[in-house]
Structure 1
Amino acid sequence: MRIVPKPATVKNPPEQFTGDVWVDAIASPQNDDQRASVALVRFSPGARTAWHSHARGQTLHITEGVALLGSRDGTVIEARPGQTIYTPPGEEHWHGATPDDFMQHLACLEMGEDAATTTVWLEHVTDAEYHRL
């Protein structure tokens, strides 16, 4: 057992996000026997991910603000603090803050066979897709 040093807060790259998004890693694979990745992710108003999918699915737990989550069928849902959303493996989706509020969630996923297949990043979410709700 050991205390893991806190990594620096990282601003996520514009290739994968629209707007300002910061991530604090909580758990990440340290060796071959740990496959969990957990991060605290903060979105500024209007910020959102690009379309993406996860090899083994993803669980998001909203801790602050109101989250918007969209799927390829055009559905956009709102989630509030205390709510948890599960996205199954391979489902293309996006998530982010509402236009007027910050949003924070815990993002939990299991790593894929390699880092390149854990999350597959796709095109940016259009304003029309984002404002569909």
Structure 2
Amino acid sequence: MQITRSSIDTVKGPSDWFTGDVHIDPVAAAPAPSRVTASLVHFMPGARTHWHRHPLGQTVFVTEGVGLCQRRGGPVEVIRPGDRVLFEADEEHWHGAAPTRLMVHVAINEGDHDHDVVHWLDPVTDEEYRATPATA
């Protein structure tokens, strides 16, 4: 058993990965042979990831607020606390907060010596982001 006390600082999400104000707290990063990592990600209203993909997929579990997500070519979807989103391996997508609401989620990723955890792509444009459903 290993207990990691709350000693790791919250980090600001870098601007080459995110648009807007995003903060990240690590949750899980066990040493090999484990391949799973998890982070608690706080998106302030309007903040979002850039387009990206995960070679081994990603699961997002919403814990607070109202968020948005989209896979490339699909509609923008509203996500709320308790919703779990599975992005398939190599599926280009983005996720973040609704324009007027914060959103917090746990991001669960997998990687190994043959696969990076994530490949960051271009920013989500304001036009893409504004395609928000009226229910957001």
Which runs of 5 or more residues in structure 1 are unaligned?
Answer: none
When the two chains are superposed, the root-mean-square deviation of aligned CA atoms in Å is: 1.3
Cα offset, 1:114, TM superposition = 5.4
Give 1:89's aligned residue: 89
Q: 2:93 and 2:113 mapped to 1: Cα distance? A: 21
Structure 2: distance between partners of 1:109 and 1:2: 21
Corresponding letter in the other structure for 2:100: D
Could you give the per-residue CA deviations for residues 32-81 of structure 1, whole angstroms, max 9, x where no partner exists? 21111011100000000000000110000000011100111141100110
- C-alpha separation in 2, matches of 1:71 and 1:128: 15
Is the contact made by 2:67 and 2:101 (CA closer than 8 Å) also made in structure 1? no
Question: Partner residue of 1:76?
Answer: 76
Q: What percent identity do the matched residue pairs reach?
A: 45
Deviations 1:70-122 (A, max 9, x none): 1111411001101101000000000000010110001101124357x220000
Shift of 1:27: 0.4
Cross-structure match for 2:48? 48
Q: In 1, Cα distance between the equivalents of 2:26 and 2:117?
A: 16
Cross-structure match for 1:39: 39
Letter in 1 for 2:105: H
1:126 maps to 125
Q: Which amino acid aligns with 2:37?
A: S
Q: Secondary structure at the match of 2:81?
A: coil
Amino acid at match of 1:3: I
Structure 1 runs (4+) deviating above 3 angstroms are none
Counterpart code for 2:12: K
Q: Which stretch shifts more, 69-78 or 105-114? A: 105-114
* Contact 1:56–1:112 (CA under 8 A) maintained in structure 2: no
Once the two structures are superposed, residues 6-33 of structure 1 have per-residue CA deviations (whole angstroms, 9 ceiling, x without a partner) of 311000100110001001001013x221
Residue 26 in 1 paired to residue 27 in 2?
yes
Q: Give TM-score, length-normalised by structure 1.
A: 0.93
Name 1:108's counterpart in structure 2.
108
Instruction: Please give the secondary structure, in 1, of the residue aligned with 2:127.
Output: helix
2:24, 2:44 → 1: CA distance? 12
User: 2:13 corresponds to which letter in structure 1?
Assistant: N
CA distance in 2 between counterparts of 1:69 and 1:35 reads 25
